Amino acid sequence: MTAATNPSTAPNTYRAGPDERGRFGIYGGRFVAETLMPLVLVLEAAYTKAKADPAFHAEIASLHKHYVGRPSPLYFAHRLSAHLGGAKIYFKRDELNHTGSHKINNCLGQILLARRMGKTRIIAETGAGQHGVAAATVCALFGMPCVVYMGTKDIERQAPNVFRMKLLGAEVKPVESGSRSLKDALNEALRDWVTNVDNTFYIIGTVAGPHPYPAMVRDFQSVIGDEVREQMHEAEGRLPDSLVAAIGGGSNAMGLFHPFLDDPAVAMYGVEAAGKGLDTHEHAASLTKGRPGVLHGNRMYLLQDADGQVLEAHSISAGLDYPGIGPEHSWLKDTGRVSYVSATDAEALAAFQLCARMEGILPALEPAHALAHVMRLAPTLPQDHLLVMNMCGRGDKDVFSVAHHLGVKL
């Protein structure tokens, strides 16, 4: 099924998906148990209605401005650009958002929808804890109870975020099953949802899950790319030449890429976590090393064994430690519109340190992967090349983890 780039079969637009069945090509869909199917259909109808309502968008825009601090700056990283000696590197500073990552963009949209639907309880899954913190934050903002499922492996390596969620009033439920990370947290959240169908809204944190989640989360994150378009026009009077973003499930990348998909001159790079290396079994590179499979309600590229059993992913970054990838990314890979590359744990650590010293910014380990690719890419490009990297999260949460990996005792 994997089609190589073929201009003759390229679609007229890359921005029309998904179709009415929630498909992007063969990817996406609604592979859920019957108990959830009626809920997913009701959610789709509610989202379609909200999307057409200017009041819904006005509410989001107001919160973005006054609560999140949007628009986030588009910052020219001049020292890093000079150091790498090629492209002009801009950071989209989504790490400056309230709660420290892009995850708040999506959570605000979904909780406003939950309120419209009359739901009274919120559940979420989290890996790095950034989505959990964002979900707990919007729940505090609207006075709703919040349960966050988190693998015990992630609880260990993201202790600061666990405590933040608790401070925000959320209940963090440890997940002991399977690989004890993001994929298992998703399983547990789905089990909760199937049990509490009447009052509960499930805020999925990434562009995956049954339709309409992949499209809905993408729409809420597209504020990133929309702002970049405007800001780059203001700064340079033209479109950027290339976009780079890290991908775990793929939400920050989709938010940056989607508004530019139909601008053929804009090159795009999604950077997967190569963990300890693509030739080992310890990575999270579902697009590079996986094949199409069905998990968590949608078809996507999936790390799996020969028998279709889901493999455990590995990354130094808990937020990228997921064996799947959103269906729209899966489709964009097959169509060739976006290039998918990877960076190892070691490369991400090096990028993390370089960015700290060079720009005074501690990136989260997730965008540190994107930065690792920028470090490879930028020197090969001319100095008038405009490159935008999504700085989708801040690294405060990773300080202990980075110290551990560098062999420093705090």
Q: Which residues bind another protein (CB under 8 A)?
A: 21, 29-39, 177-178, 183-184, 187, 190-191, 194-197, 292-297, 302, 304, 306-310
Task: Provide the angle, in degrees to the nearest 10, between the axes of the packed helices 54-63 and 103-116.
Answer: 140
In whole angstroms, the minimum distance from the beta carbon of 162 to another protein comes to 23
Minimum CB distance to another protein smaller for 215 or for 365: 215
- Distance separating alpha carbons of residues 402 and 365, to the nearest angstrom: 9
Please name the helix (run of DSSP H) or strand (run of DSSP E) that holds residue 171, with its range, or none: strand 171-175
Torsion of CA 233, 235, 237, 238, to 10 degrees: -60
- Distance separating alpha carbons of residues 180 and 199, to the nearest angstrom: 27
Asked if 361 and 391 touch (Cβ cutoff 8 Å), the reply is yes
Token reading at 152 = 């015990």
Asked if 181 and 153 touch (Cβ cutoff 8 Å), the reply is yes
Minimum CB distance to another protein smaller for 185 or for 372: 185
In whole angstroms, the minimum distance from the beta carbon of 305 to another protein comes to 9
Instruction: Find tokens 């130094």 and name the residue.
Output: 316
- Distance separating alpha carbons of residues 350 and 363, to the nearest angstrom: 11
Minimum CB distance to another protein smaller for 305 or for 384: 305
Single-letter amino acid, residue 322: Y
In whole angstroms, the minimum distance from the beta carbon of 309 to another protein comes to 5
Around 248, how many Cα atoms within 13 Å sit in the side-chain half-sphere?
Answer: 29
Minimum CB distance to another protein smaller for 176 or for 263: 176
- Distance separating alpha carbons of residues 139 and 304, to the nearest angstrom: 35
Reading phi first (left if > 0) and then psi (alpha if -120 to 50, else beta), residue 273 is in beta
In whole angstroms, the minimum distance from the beta carbon of 28 to another protein comes to 11
In whole angstroms, the minimum distance from the beta carbon of 186 to another protein comes to 8
Minimum CB distance to another protein smaller for 279 or for 307: 307
In whole angstroms, the minimum distance from the beta carbon of 31 to another protein comes to 4
Minimum CB distance to another protein smaller for 96 or for 303: 303
Minimum CB distance to another protein smaller for 279 or for 305: 305
Sign of the dihedral defined by the CA atoms of residues 159, 168, 220, 183, in that order: positive
In whole angstroms, the minimum distance from the beta carbon of 321 to another protein comes to 15
